[in-house]
């Protein structure tokens, strides 16, 4: 095992990223052997985002849904994204901060996805009970978009030090987000709300936790060389802190608004009678 780790140092350098990848793969194996990764009943049983269940107190679905995937292609695409952007974030942030960013982005995107089920409809406009329940949701894409937003925040904070590399990376991130938004608008069964909210929440917490780079010149007898070191930032603007607090408040309000809607729907349709998950 030690020889394997030395041969592939990325396993040692990025333990959080590889642990999350492994956890997603293990969840998928459990899905496959327990009834299938595309089986709706199995997804709900294993912890997918099921809005009525969340409204009934199954808060853990907001997290477990981020480790479940609907089909092998869904899993592979997300793991590739996690492999690319997870390592970038883990390299620049402390591992504990990286984990906080990933979990915050994943849970926040689940909450906004949960809210979107009745964001533009009132209980009086419901024509049938299924209309207000929302879709079953699963996938790590909200958290991965959070990593993307987080890394964008890091690049913006350090753009003067990183120079053209930061600008080119920010352009690439912008193009990637644009392509995903356009594709999501034309394809079905893609949770755009989770993607966009994950990106925004990841950017917000990334800006809060991002280290600042400083260029240090090392005089040398032959030629000058330089290194980049990370510094803690103590100059967070009050405007940004207030904005982050407002984001938390909006997220909380979105959760309770959706929960109230589903409770009213439950009273209207007697959902408590049929909601039994074996």
- Dist CA 63 CA 270 (whole Å): 27
Is 195 an active-site residue? Answer: yes
Phi and psi at residue 79, to the nearest 5°? -70, -35
- Dist CA 255 CA 110 (whole Å): 10
Asked if residues 159 and 166 have their Cβ atoms less than 8 Å apart, the reply is: yes
**Which residue among 195, 197, 210, 266 is the active-site one?**
195
Asked if residues 75 and 35 have their Cβ atoms less than 8 Å apart, the reply is: no
Percentage helix, strand, coil for the chain under 3-state DSSP, each rounded to 5: 70, 5, 25
Is 141 an active-site residue? Answer: yes
- Dist CA 245 CA 226 (whole Å): 38
**Which residue among 118, 141, 197, 210 is the active-site one?**
141
Closest CA to 102 of 19, 172, 25: 19
Q: Which residues pair with 214 in a beta bridge?
A: 229
Task: Return the sign of the alpha-carbon dihedral for residues 168, 172, 173, 178.
Answer: positive
Closest CA to 82 of 13, 22, 4, 5: 22
Catalytic residue numbers?
Answer: 141, 195
């Amino acid at each position: 095992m030690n020889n394997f780790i030395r041969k592939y140092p990325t396993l040692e350098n990025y333990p959080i990223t590889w642990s999350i990848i492994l956890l997603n793969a293990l969840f998928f194996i459990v899905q496959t052997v327990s009834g299938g990764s595309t089986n709706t009943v199995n997804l709900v049983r294993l912890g997918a985002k099921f809005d009525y269940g969340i409204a009934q107190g199954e808060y853990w679905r907001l997290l477990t849904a981020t480790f479940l995937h609907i089909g092998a292609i869904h899993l592979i695409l997300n793991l590739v994204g996690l492999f690319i952007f997870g390592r970038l974030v883990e390299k620049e942030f402390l591992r504990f901060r990286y984990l906080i960013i990933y979990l915050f982005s994943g849970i926040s995107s689940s909450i906004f996805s949960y809210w979107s089920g009745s964001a533009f409809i009132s209980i009086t406009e419901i024509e049938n009970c299924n209309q207000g329940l929302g879709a079953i949701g699963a996938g790590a894409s909200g958290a991965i978009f959070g990593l993307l937003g987080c890394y964008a925040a890091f690049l913006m904070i350090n753009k003067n030090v990183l120079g053209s590399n930061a600008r080119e990376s920010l352009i690439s991130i912008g193009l990637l987000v644009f392509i995903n938004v356009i594709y999501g608008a034309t394809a079905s069964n893609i949770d755009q709300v989770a993607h966009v909210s994950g990106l925004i929440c990841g950017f917000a917490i990334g800006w809060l936790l991002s280290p600042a780079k400083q260029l240090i010149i090392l005089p040398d007898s032959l030629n000058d060389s330089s290194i980049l070191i990370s510094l803690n930032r103590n100059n967070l603007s009050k405007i940004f802190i207030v904005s982050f607090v407002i984001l938390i408040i909006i997220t909380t309000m979105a959760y309770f608004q959706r929960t109230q809607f589903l409770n009213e729907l439950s009273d209207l349709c007697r959902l408590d009678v049929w909601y039994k998950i074996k």
